Chain A
Amino acid sequence: MTVYTPDANTPAARPRTYIEAGYTLRSWLLTTDHKRIAILYMISITGFFFLGALGAAAVRLELLTPKLDLLHADGYNRAFTLHGVVMVWFFLIPSIPTVFGNFLIPLMIGARDLAFPRLNLLSWYIYVLGGLFTAYVLVAGGVETGWTLYTPLSTKYAPGHTVMAAAAIFVVGFSSILTGLNFIVTIHTLRAPGMTWFRLPIFVWSHYATSVILVLATPVLAMALILLALERALGIGVFDPDLGGDPLLWQHLFWFYSHPAVYIMVLPSMGVVTELVTTFAKKRVFGYEFVAFASIAIAIIGFLVWGHHMFVAGQSMYASMVFSFLSFLVAVPSAIKVYNWTATLYKGQLDLRAPLFYAMGFIGLFVFGGLTGLILASLALDVHAHGTAFVVAHFHYIMVGGAVSAYLGALHCWWPKMTGRMYSEFWGRISALLIFFGFNITFFPQYILGWLGMPRRYHSYPPEFQSWEVLSTAGAVMLGVGYLLPLVYLLWSLRYGPRAPANPWGASGLEWRVPSPPPKHNFEEIPVVSWEAYDYPPPQEEQG
């Protein structure tokens, strides 16, 4: 039994950490340790996050004034395409799974690594290769199709490097598939003795659901991108009505992947928030089974709602009605989660630290994004709101307000575990608040603008919209500061932060029962689990 006692961090008792296992560049680039690969991923996706943010900054600056003055028209299109492609495929989709899933799943289930460690490293290299393709596209001049690459714009009219961008997305998809496959196999085969399915942390459940989507949806995108590249390069006609093809076919194939992809982004976030809420409320999650199965339900129903992106694209009315109904249905498990988080917080011993700030920010913003999603899922209302800034605001509430807040919450919660250092609580709370308010100031005006008729992806607008656009850009500045702050104080903490104990939050998960940072092989002996998930107060404290 390797449940470390709280003084496991005293130098004498402390085994060599995974960081101390080697300091050369080679020891990092050829590692098969899931913890080190998580760090490699963290560094690379942070780079892409700020690259994607540059695209957003260009868009927000251009929209300060009603006329086109900062960029030229194609440049504007390239800026928002860069922002979308990079943020979706190079930040949001890999973010929580490849960093925290990679680092934590083996620790949480009592394993020494993922099932296929070399495949895990390969997935990072494939990610980097896809990233290099993207960098090439950027340097060569960019793409102007938007991240959705709609035909025939992408196959006939847009002048940019569409084929190369499709290749970049194709390549990075394999990295997703390998990660998902590795997680599923790991969760099935490497749970420690006694770690039954219903003793798994919800974080693991939600990553399981995410992995199912990664494995089943990504190959469809791969084929769609092959067809897109063939259409663009050789004119095979599959998306061209002149040759008997169908431009709408692209939208079906694309959204068959990309709607579930939204759940790839948000399911891991929901897992994180569940962990944060239980950890900082010191309570077992309310309705464990419901929260666990809600993840699976979201993954399954999420595969059947893609048509709601095509309500005004000439899709059959009857198909639209079914898609609308199913889109409403997917809100049910999402709502179950929100209610259960709230019920978990209720009468909990709240420890109001930065990670909980982020988690509460997530819940608030996610509820808003989810409810406006119901507006968009309604056939009649969508006719009005489709293709407007309202949609932009809606999915940013989920993908940025939700997923990025959860990513940062996870970063703060597990930072002590990953690095062995404590971050600054004061600055953590300040940045969480800045992000919450900055986010709302940025995107709430876009709901209003969209409802008033402001289309998305337009670089100019009627002068009466300007005050809302200026407000949105001002909020984006605040949001930018909120995102830069953690970069500064977290890096600062690596050198100057106090050393972290094994379990700074008094949390119950297995990952907190090994030293911070964990030793190379996680557990000296594979633990035998005899307690339920979220068993508060944790057994370790009882022993101590």
Chain B
Amino acid sequence: MTTAPFVRPEQQQEANHLGIWLFLATEAMMFGALFFALTVVRLRVPEGVRVASGHLDKLLGTVNTGVLLTSSLLVALAVSAARRGRQERTAGLLAGGAGLGVIFLAIKAYEYQKEFSEGLMPGPGFRLHDHPGAELFFNLYYAATGLHAVHLTIGVLLMLGLSARVLGGYLRLPERAESVELPGLYWHTVDIVWVFLYPTLYLVSG
């Protein structure tokens, strides 16, 4: 199937792929700037960052990393199922990926709540005021994980929408497997951002 301005189907396919990869490059550059800021802060106030990072819940962070990696596995399997034209399996795997995304967000929300009750939320009640830089670390932690959560929420909605369309037969497989593959690439990118956030935030306490 070809729509204007394309003449040949493979032309359109190449354009869609290049388009999504360029978009993902912009995501990488945007988060890259945030990682740069996190690195600068760590170099300037290593002690504050070490102490603050030590107060993050390593167990929950690690579990969440596992949850997200597994979700990427499901999405990758969904793409391969879509290519083989297996509608129900594709829809199920996409919904499973989205479900793990929701679990990730729930664990993250629980973590935020826990940090709040432990006095780790920046502001007057912040408990680590004696450690210069600790509050800044937590600010960046919330900015980074918050922005990541926004991206993940978009991903969850995308996957649920896709799953419903595949199940309802609105998305014919395997002809439109590309429509599963491209949002899948977005999902993996959001996953990879977390794979970098996890050590940068949770594992720098030594």
Contacts and interface: CB of A to CB of B under 8 A. Distances in A.
Interface of A: 106, 111-117, 177, 180-181, 184-186, 188-190, 215-220, 222-224, 226-227, 230, 234, 236-238, 243-246, 249, 252-253, 256, 521, 526
Contacts of B30: 219-220, 222-223
B133 A244 contact: yes
Main secondary structure of the interface of B (DSSP, over half): helix
A230 B14 CA distance: 39
Contact of A224 (B33, B133, B137, B143): B33
Contact of B34 (A116, A186, A223): A223
Interface string B103-119: 00000000000000000
A114 B26 contact: no
A106 B5 contact: yes
Contacts, number: 116
Nearest to B26: A219
Nearest to A526: B7
Contacts of B5: 106, 111-115, 117, 190
A180 B5 CA distance: 18
Contacts of B143: 226-227, 230, 236
Interface in B57-73: none
10 contacts: A116-B19, A180-B22, A181-B22, A215-B22, A215-B26, A219-B27, A223-B32, A227-B34, A236-B136, A256-B33
Lowest 7 A-B CB distances belong to which pairs?
A244-B133, A223-B33, A219-B30, A236-B139, A113-B5, A244-B45, A219-B29
A190 B6 contact: yes
A219 B147 CA distance: 14
Contacts of A216: 25-26, 29
Given A223-B30, A227-B143, A189 B122 contact: no
Given A223-B33, A521-B4, 18 more contacts: A114-B5, A116-B15, A180-B22, A181-B26, A189-B14, A190-B15, A216-B29, A218-B26, A220-B32, A226-B147, A227-B143, A236-B136, A236-B143, A243-B133, A244-B45, A249-B40, A253-B33, A253-B37
Contacts of A245: 41, 44, 136
Contacts of A256: 33
Contacts of B33: 219-220, 223-224, 253, 256
